[in-house]
Structure 1
Amino acid sequence: MRAAYITQLGSPDLIRHGELPPPVPGPHDVLVDVEVSAVNHVDTFVRSGAWRTPVEFPFVIGRDLVGTVAAAGPAATGFRVGDRVWCNSLGHDGRQGAAAEQAVVPVDRLYHLPDGVAPADAVALAHPAATAHLALFTHGGLRAGETVAVLGAAGNVGSALVVMAARAGARVIAVAAGRDEEYVRALGADHFVDYREGEVAGRIRAAAPGGVDVHVDTAGRNDLETAVDLLAGRGRIVVLAGLRTRPVLPVGALYLQDRSVRGFAISHADTAQLAGAARGVGGLLAAGLLRPRATEVLPLSEAGEAHRRLEEGKVTGKLVLRVRD
């Protein structure tokens, strides 16, 4: 089978495109004929070695896929040959990746693709939308009627956060560039703050004088001193980006108001958490309420170039690798 893979950790130049033996599913696995795979920042972290996780060489890169069931192990119930499916948790913790013509997926990490959803759209949203769901509900404990501040609201994760929070009955304060205001409001934001105009914290405070209940900074700047001051009593900051940031932590303001900072990485989510996120994402996809803003589809042979562009910050929207037509 054709695959994008590496034989050692390092730069994007080490990604090869060529033939590998097809994988063999175990009794609890499903063999998937892959149509498309997405390219995420975390994929570059694993490939380079910045994110330490067990890797067996040759290692197929990539985390997300959409495809069709080719075969299922005897204990892999719930899927039949020909079913359209998706997954967003390969390429980590000893699992081979998704950027190949075939992939083996543990049955508890595989989900049915809703009818009528384009494969490129689904795979583009698989990682950011699941991240957003976990941030808001699993770690943020969001409830209807609460107020959410989303920094980076026009990005891949940020836009999913806005949609999900609004659909859950929360009041959304979106922070992004002014050019994105119409887009972000259309997603469901109640208030918009243009970060380029300055005084971001003051304008968030004006929109939520009682404080925000959940604060998520998708850009990963993690100005915790400012963010904690914006929280309501028992408010939560969810940290999901900013691997190398070292912010000041205002301890007194945290414990005196029962506020909290909760960090998480989707790579550590268990299968029950991922399945819950998949149900939420799948429902929004099926209803047409969740769509990627911009998707660029490249052939599998350009996986190395896709990683290079992502690391250089030259990607707007989402890159998708077309594995087969």
Structure 2
Amino acid sequence: MRAAYITQLGSPDVIRYGELPPPVPGPHDVLVDVEVSAVNHVDTFVRSGAWRTPVEFPFVIGRDLVGTVVRAGPGAPGFQAGDRVWCNSLGHDGRQGAAAEQAVVPVDRLYHLPNNVAAVDAVALAHPAATAHLALFTHGGLRPGETVAVLGAGGNVGSALVVMAVRAGARVIAVASGRDAEYVRSLGAHEVVDYRSPDVAGQIRAAAPHGVDVHVDTSGRNDLDTAVDLLASRGRVVLMAGLRTRPVLPVGPLYLMDRSVHGFAISHADTAQLADAARGINDLLAQGLLRPRATEVLPLSEAEQAHRRLDEGKVHGKLVLRVHD
């Protein structure tokens, strides 16, 4: 089968495109013909070695896929040949990746794709939407009626955060660029603050005088001093990025007001958490409430170029690799 793979860790030029033996599923696996695979920042971290995880060479890159079931093992009930499916947790912890003509997916990491959902849309959302779900509900403990501040609301994860929070009955204060204001409002944000404003925190505080219940910054800047100060009593800051930041931790306001800071990486999510996120994502996909803003589709043979562009910050939207037409 054709695949994008590496035989060593390193820069994008270690990515090869060529033939590998097809994968062999076990009894609890499903063999999938891959149609499309997304390219995520975490894929570049695994490829370079910045994110340490077991890698068996040759290693197929990529985490997310949409495809069609070829066959399911005897211990993989619920799937049969021809089912359209998706997955967002390959290419990590010893699992081979998704950027190939075929992939083996453990049955507890595979989900049915709702009818009439485009493969490119679904794979573009697989990683950011799951990240948003875990941030809001698994780690943020969001409840109806609460107020959420989303920084970076115009991005892939940020826009999914807005949609999910609004759908859950929360009030959303979105921070985004001025050019994204109308888009973010169209997702249901109740208040929009331009991130270039001289007093972003002041505007959030004015919009939520009693504080925000959940604060999520998708940019990874992690200004905890400001974020904690914006929280309501028992409010939560959720950290989802910022490997190289070392922010000051304002201990006093945290313990005096029962506030908290939660960090998480989607790579650590267990199969039950990922399945819960998948159910929520499928519901929003089926209703047409969750859509990627911009996608660019490239052939699988351009995987190296896709990684290079992502490393250089030259991607606006989501890159998708088309494996099968």
TM-score, normalised by the number of residues in structure 2: 1.00
Query: Which stretches in structure 2 are left out of the alignment for 5+ residues?
Result: none
Aligned equivalents of 1:78 and 1:64: distance in 2?
20
* Matches of 2:240 and 2:4, distance apart in 1: 27
Aligned-residue Cα RMSD (Å) equals 0.3
Offset at residue 197 of structure 1 (A): 1.8
Counterpart of 1:62 in structure 2 is 62
Deviation at 1:198, TM superposition (A): 1.8
Q: Write the mapping of 1:156-195 to structure 2, written as runs, cut at 5 A.
A: 156-195=156-195
Q: Secondary structure at the match of 1:197?
A: coil
The residue aligned with 2:15 is 15
Equivalent residue, structure 2, for 1:246: 246
Cα shift readout 1:103-134 (whole Å, capped 9, x = no counterpart): 00000000000000000000000000000000
Give 1:270's aligned residue: 270
Q: Report 1:1-325 matches (<5 A).
A: 1-325=1-325
Q: Secondary structure at the match of 1:37?
A: strand
Counterpart Cα distance in 2 of 1:192 and 1:75 = 49
Q: CA-to-partner distance for each residue in 1:7-51, whole Å, 9 max, x for gaps?
A: 000000010000000000000000000000000000000000000
Once residues 197 and 249 of structure 1 are traced to their aligned partners in structure 2, the CA distance between those partners, rounded to angstroms, is 25
CA distance in 2, matches of 1:198, 1:49: 38
Q: Find the aligned partners of 1:282 and 1:253 in 2 and give their Cα distance.
A: 38
Counterpart amino acid of residue 266 in structure 1: I
The letter for the 1-side match of 2:281 is V
* Separation in structure 1 between the aligned mates of residue 227 and residue 200 of structure 2, nearest angstrom: 11
TM-score normalized by structure 1?
Answer: 1.00
Q: Displacement, 1:73?
A: 0.6
- The AA in structure 1 aligned to 2:136 is L
- Partner Cα separation in structure 2 for residue 244 and residue 28 of structure 1: 38
Mapped partners of 1:257, 1:25: distance in 2: 51
Shift of 1:241: 0.6
Runs (5+) with no aligned partner, structure 1: none
Give CA-to-partner distance per residue, 1:152-205, whole Å, 9 cap, x none.
000000000000000000000000000100000000100000011220000000
Deviations along 1:263-320, whole A, 9 cap, x unmatched?
0000000000000000000000000000000000000000000000001110000000
Per-residue displacement from partner, 1:47-69 (whole Å, max 9, x unpaired)? Answer: 00000000000000000000000
Letter aligned with residue 292 of structure 1: P
The residue type paired with residue 23 of structure 1 is: P
In structure 1, distance between residues paired with 2:90 and 2:195: 35
The letter of the residue matching 2:35 is: E
* Percent identity between the two aligned chains: 86
